[in-house]
Amino acid sequence: MTLKERFMNQLMGKEVDRTPVGCTTTYGVVDLMKKCGYERPLADTDSVAMTELAYAGHQYGGFEWVKAMGWDILPLSEAFGCELGTPKIDLQYSVKGHPYAEGVDNLTFPSNFLEKGRFPVFKENLTLLKKKVGEALAMFGESEGAFTCAANLVGTEQFMKWCMKKPDTVFKVLEVTKQAAIAAANFAFDHGADYYVYAEPSSGPALLSPRLWEKFVLPIEKEIVSKVKGPVVLHICANTDPIIELMCETGVVGISIEEKADLKKAVEIAHKKGVKVFGNVATATTLFSGTPEEAYQEAIASLENGTDFLCPGCGIAPRSPLENLLQLKKARDDFFK
């Protein structure tokens, strides 16, 4: 069984010999950059550097699948015109300006959307990475989801207020960002991706109540997933316990959750709905500042709690030690001895 066969069998609910181990969010880690010789910010905008850093996760980090489309979750927002901050070797792109903060009357989905932002670079990256891994490793693309993109366009605080006071405007914005989310995922599948991840941090319970999640996020995610050409995984940060069931009702094949969520309970809920769970070794604490032994023990705990894919709970902090990341594969191998 190849690593790709194991991954895809697990994703599709078929029998596997052991739990795949890797990362289904961003892993722009400085130690990996040093190993492969390609650093950010070059790896944010150069397709070759982006590809080599992606492969370094497998080559040096023990990950059993690879990520295309860069090291942040702003492809859609950038293409819509969000002003981005300057990335550094250990600093991701971030949103610094919201192009529709003053109003959304002129917001439309441009016909040349996939020619904007870094999508031309991502096209080359997907092609190069697919050529490099062939059928040996699964490859995924990732972007922010429609709700998080919408919040970036108008400003998160304002968008949350609109969810309460201007629901019609929220739906208007989501109708546009929905098209972008579908286009981005299908773009990735057209260029060799095996699955796609939507990251929706702005929709987490820390910002949006479960009632509003069901009203705004659930229907838009359902429609998006129904129009995407391949399997989709939904990642949401923080404590997602109140919305795990709703996440599983979107039509995705997998959900990715942080350590703040109850993994054992999430697995129980998800498996009843035929959904797989990715997670959930802590990134901000254990992998970033913990010891290798702590990383190992937390990985063992995730396996004991039934994770389908042993992963970091969120994007890996750039200065996380490589030795901590390697504990995931070590724990998985020991667990299945």
pLDDT digits (tens, 9 = 90+) for 141-198: 999 999 999 999 999 999 999 999 999 999 999 999 999 999 999 999 999 999 999 9
**Is the CB of residue 67 less than 8 Å from the CB of residue 29?**
no
Q: Is the whole model's pTM more than 0.95, yes or no?
A: yes
Find the domain containing 302 and state its range: 22-335
Residue 16 in any domain: the answer is: no
Q: Give pLDDT tens digits for 99-155.
A: 999 999 999 999 999 999 999 999 999 999 999 999 999 999 999 999 999 999 999
Domain assignment of residue 44, yes or no = yes
How many domains does the structure of the chain reveal? 1
On whether residue 301 sits in a domain, the answer given is: yes
What does the pLDDT look like over 80-97, one tens digit per residue? Answer: 999 999 999 999 999 999
Predicted local confidence at residue 85, as pLDDT: 97
Q: Please report whether residue 274 resides in a domain.
A: yes
List the CATH number of the domain containing 308: 3.20.20.210
Candidates 267, 255, 258, 167; CA nearest to 212 is: 167
CA pseudo-torsion sign 20, 21, 22, 24? positive
120 phi and psi, to 5 degrees? -60, -35
pLDDT tens, position by position, 271-330:
999 999 999 999 999 999 999 999 999 999 999 999 999 999 999 999 999 999 999 999
State pLDDT tens for residues 32-82: 999 999 999 999 999 999 999 999 999 999 999 999 999 999 999 999 999
* Residue 25, both tokens: 């969010």
Question: Does residue 270 lie in a domain region?
Answer: yes
Tell me, yes or no, whether 14 lies in a domain.
Answer: no
- Contact partners, residue 71, CB within 8 Å, separation at least 6: 26, 27, 28, 40, 43, 44, 50, 53, 92
How many other CB atoms sit within 10 Å of the CB of residue 76? 28
Confirm whether 12 is domain-assigned.
no
Residue 13 domain flag: no
